[in-house]
Amino acid sequence: MAKTKTAFFCQNCGSQYPKWIGQCSSCKQWNTIVEEVVQKDEKKGWKSSSSSAKKAATPLRISEITNEKETRLDTQDQEFNRVLGGGLVPGSLTLLGGEPGIGKSTLLLQIALKLAYKTLYVSGEESQKQIKMRADRIHPNSENCFILTETKTQNIFQQIAALEPDIVVIDSIQTLHTDYIESAAGSISQIRESTAELIKFAKESSTPVILVGHITKDGTIAGPKILEHMVDTVLQFEGDRNYVYRILRSLKNRFGSTAELGIYEMQGSGLREVNNPSEVLISKNEEDLSGTAIAATVEGMRPLLIEIQALVSTAVYGTPQRSATGFNAKRLNMLLAVLEKRAGFKLAAKDVFLNITGGISVDDPAIDLAVLAAILSSNADIPIEKGTCFAAEVGLAGEIRPVQRVDQRILEAEKLGFTKIYVSKSNKIGLKNTSIQVQLVSKIEDVVSSLF
């Protein structure tokens, strides 16, 4: 039996060392030395059955490769399926990242409970009792979901071999510990080695594996960047913890588009799929309020109507305050400068606060016009007429610029009962016979005179 051998490698230049040192003596970089497995004791890792033992691959002409449609496992969760591009691909590795407490464990447990396939949910973070308590709230009766609390990779493979699940969920990759390497769980070498073994398992047994990954303070997935290269799909779960809405995005997808987006609402009984996001993101105020405007945006592939609120008040201190939640503060300053120059508004002595409701953040430039409209409405204290929405970008010269997929935005606004939408004159609109009034504008002045 070959014994496991490890060595230490510099991640910067690749030099090898027998033991850990702080500074690489060849490239002089600090803290780049990481332990790696050089030779493995094959008995302990994932062992494929002899029938599926790998045959050496042979080259094929591209025309000889069959392109049958990829089979997909239905996750019973429409939003999750959509983001994956139609469901889980057999043998794929999916990494789900997100801030602590955002709902990663809840989302995956919920999917595991609803699945019609035999699922193994491995948790290194919570006890079986804790998970049971959570499961009772979400979906109490599930016959196919097995819970394992284990952090040792080799023991997990033993259980997998005994249970033969159709889908494996690992919560989280940072808690896994492989016998081959002595460093602590969560270290770069541990994460890389455990992931490599899981990939081997997934590919050889055609079982999809979903990993939970923690993210660091600056929002990247903790651990080596290489983790993101190793897996097939990287999903990110985001949202503001103080609000109930959560957005599932795909950052990388080898089997589908990364433009798709899933929206959930956190409830007492787990996450609810939000199939019609526009309706929940717009508050239903009976009274007319000044300072709010509706923007027709497109997030991923879906049109989405969001509400923008602005508050303009007299600045108390010398320097006026500018604050934006869910919107780029630099862009807000730019829009204010445009307003000052082109529409003659004296905003230099005013505080401006901007908020996108629902705690979501948007970087679609098409919300510019709605932002301006909300600011103008708050400044003049005149509400914008009910049933009005906006979809246009604003340029530095105060011109109203066209946006992508304007037809889709108009249709969504019409569907939600809006009666008027402001878009740029230069937008080519293919739609005919819409019941919504499409107001074409080319300058800020046109918008101001039409609104107030």
Is 105 a known ligand-binding residue? yes
Nearest residue (CB) to ligand TYD, 239 versus 291: 239
- Which string of x and - marks every residue 359-398 that binds ligand TYD (by CB under 6 A)? ----------------------------------------
**175 binds ligand TYD, rule: CB under 6 A:** no
CA distance 51 to 3: 26
Nearest residue (CB) to ligand TYD, 136 versus 182: 136
- Give the position of tokens 């080695």: 193
Contact partner at residue 269 from ligand TYD, Mg ion, none, CB < 5 to 8 Å by partner kind: ligand TYD
**105 binds Mg ion, rule: CB under 5 A:** yes
For the bound state, the minimum distance from the C-beta of residue 6 to ligand TYD, rounded and expressed in Å, comes to 31
Is 103 a known ligand-binding residue? yes
Is 111 a known ligand-binding residue? no
408: its two tokens: 């889709």
For the bound state, the minimum distance from the C-beta of residue 395 to ligand TYD, rounded and expressed in Å, comes to 40
Nearest residue (CB) to ligand TYD, 273 versus 340: 273
Contact partner at residue 270 from Mg ion, ligand TYD, none, CB < 5 to 8 Å by partner kind: ligand TYD
For the bound state, the minimum distance from the C-beta of residue 103 to Mg ion, rounded and expressed in Å, comes to 8
Only one of the segments 102-110, 129-137, 142-150, 201-209 lies at the binding site for Mg ion (rule: CB under 5 A); that segment is 102-110
Nearest residue (CB) to Mg ion, 105 versus 187: 105
Report 100-139 residues binding ligand TYD (CB under 6 A).
100-106, 134, 137-138
- Which string of x and - marks every residue 253-282 that binds ligand TYD (by CB under 6 A)? -------------x-xxx------------
How many chain residues bind Mg ion (CB under 5 A)?
1
Is 101 a known ligand-binding residue? yes
363: its two tokens: 């970087």
Is 160 a known ligand-binding residue? no
Question: Contacts by 401-410 with C-beta closer than 8 Å and gap 24+?
Answer: 401/426, 402/426, 402/427, 402/428, 403/364, 403/365, 403/366, 403/427, 404/298, 404/366, 405/298, 405/303, 407/431, 408/298, 408/303, 409/296, 409/297, 409/298, 409/303, 409/366, 410/296, 410/434, 410/436, 410/438
Interhelix angle 368-380/444-451, rounded to 10 degrees, is 50
Is 102 a known ligand-binding residue? yes
Interface with ligand TYD (CB under 6 A): 98, 100-106, 134, 137-138, 266, 268-270
Interface with Mg ion (CB under 5 A): 105
Annotated binding site for ATP: 98-105
